[in-house]
A and B are shown apart, each in its own frame.
Chain A
Amino acid sequence: AQSVTQLDSQVPVFEEAPVELRCNYSSSVSVYLFWYVQYPNQGLQLLLKYLSGSTLVKGINGFEAEFNKSQTSFHLRKPSVHISDTAEYFCAVSDSDTDKLIFGTGTRLQVFP
């Protein structure tokens, strides 16, 4: 069965600094990978997704992620964070055989002024 590991439960960072949120998944023949953001007391918003093709995926709000098949990773990056990026970030995976999403436990990004 698929699984997702988000190694960092919390990531504190100062405004305008770069950030990387790590995500590793269990290997599979083919996977679809996603990053979602959850602001306090709200639902999940899709940041970006990898389905196939280019391994560098660009999403909304200046975020990007790189699919690395050999390392089974899909780390999320932003070169310069803003206070408004403070939120919970979830990595998720689905495979071609099932339709459900398997989520990591989340990483809380806290941006300080």
Chain B
Amino acid sequence: NAGVMQNPRHLVRRRGQEARLRCSPMKGHSHVYWYRQLPEEGLKFMVYLQKENIIDESGMPKERFSAEFPKEGPSILRIQQVVRGDSAAYFCASSPYDVSYEQYFGPGTRLTVT
């Protein structure tokens, strides 16, 4: 059973470009969470999604950031017009329907904005 997959593992973008991060949850998992880890800090919750539904986006910046988890395909975290402060590691986690507190993490995408 493959774990949570994220791609790309490393992403370099110039200021003003768009960054698109993908997350494929573990097989059978219907919940996806995105977290951001700034340098030398812990992980901060961003958004919690189920298929075709955003459950909690209380940790998402109000502008430029969006997330989706379509019926088919991976979950996408999109950052428009990236700035240097967006440089961070972005982690995706997934959980099964009936144990949503048990989250399994992917390897992360390290975004560098130049």
Give A residues with C-beta under 8 Å from B. Answer: 32, 36, 41-46, 49, 51, 90, 92, 94, 98-106
B101 near A99: Cβ-Cβ < 8 Å? yes
Contact with A along B70-114 (1 / 0, CB 8 A): 000000000000000000000101010000111111111010000
Task: Return the chain A residue nearest B58 by Cβ.
Answer: A100
The answer, among B42, B93, B110, for a CB contact under 8 Å with A90, is B42
Report the bound CA distance from A105 to B44 in whole Å: 10
* CB of A99, distance to nearest CB on chain B (Å): 5
B108 near A43: Cβ-Cβ < 8 Å? yes
Closest 3 CB pairs of A and B: A103-B42, A44-B105, A100-B45
Contact with A along B52-67 (1 / 0, CB 8 A): 0001100100000000
A99 near B107: Cβ-Cβ < 8 Å? no
Report the bound CA distance from A99 to B31 in whole Å: 10
Residue total for B at the interface (Cβ-Cβ under 8 A): 26
Q: How many A-B residue pairs have CB under 8 A?
A: 54
Report the bound CA distance from A51 to B44 in whole Å: 21
CB contact under 8 A between A49 and B107, given known A44-B91, A99-B55, A102-B45: no
A43 near B91: Cβ-Cβ < 8 Å? yes
Task: Return the chain A residue nearest B110 by Cβ.
Answer: A41
Contact with A along B21-61 (1 / 0, CB 8 A): 00000000001010100000111110010000001100100
Residues from chain A with a CB closer than 8 A to the CB of B104 are 46
* Extra contacts besides A43-B4, A43-B108 (4): CB < 8 Å: A41-B110, A99-B100, A103-B43, A103-B44
Task: Return the chain B residue nearest A99 by Cβ.
Answer: B100
Report the bound CA distance from A101 to B93 in whole Å: 10
Residues from chain A with a CB closer than 8 A to the CB of B101 are 32, 51, 94, 99
